[in-house]
Amino acid sequence: MKRLHTHFLSDDELQYFYDNVRMRKQLANASHEHEKSVIDKLAAIIPVRPHEKAYMCVERNPNGHEWHTDTGTMGHMQWCQVGVIVMLSKITQYTGGWIHYDGFTVGLNQNELIYHTSDVRHKVEPHSGDRRVLLFFL
């Protein structure tokens, strides 16, 4: 399962997460109004109940990620049911960073979200520039 949504975050939410690079928080510990709002929005579009270990993080990783599933390369996240990627950067702020799935490639624009079940193999190309994503592991 792979789904794409546009205009997922409000302008204030987008700025909040963009400014909080390296944030990592369990969903159960969400305290800021924007964190809570985004969790509610996810619940409305993704029909899974997040695991107690579910978390969100803002990532800026210029090295990308090799082929993997969201259960973890060493099975350390077997609890994960769904992975979510929300693009925080404008597409003009970076080059590279394409997301590859078996059979197709995705380049997300700012404020687009894609999600997939945790068993779906994917990779992210290395990039240059300022590419920030909000990730959820549910």
pLDDT in tens, 32-51: 999 999 999 999 999 899 99
Rounded to the nearest 5°, which phi and psi values hold at 17?
A: -70, -35
pTM: 0.94
**Domain CATH code at residue 43:** 2.60.120.620
- The total number of structural domains that make up the chain: 1
What string of DSSP letters covers 36-84? HHHHHHHHHHS-SPPPTT-EEEEE--TT-EEEE-TT-TTSTTTT--EEE
Residue 7's domain spans which residues? 2-137
pLDDT in tens, 95-136: 999 999 999 999 999 999 999 999 999 999 999 999 999 999
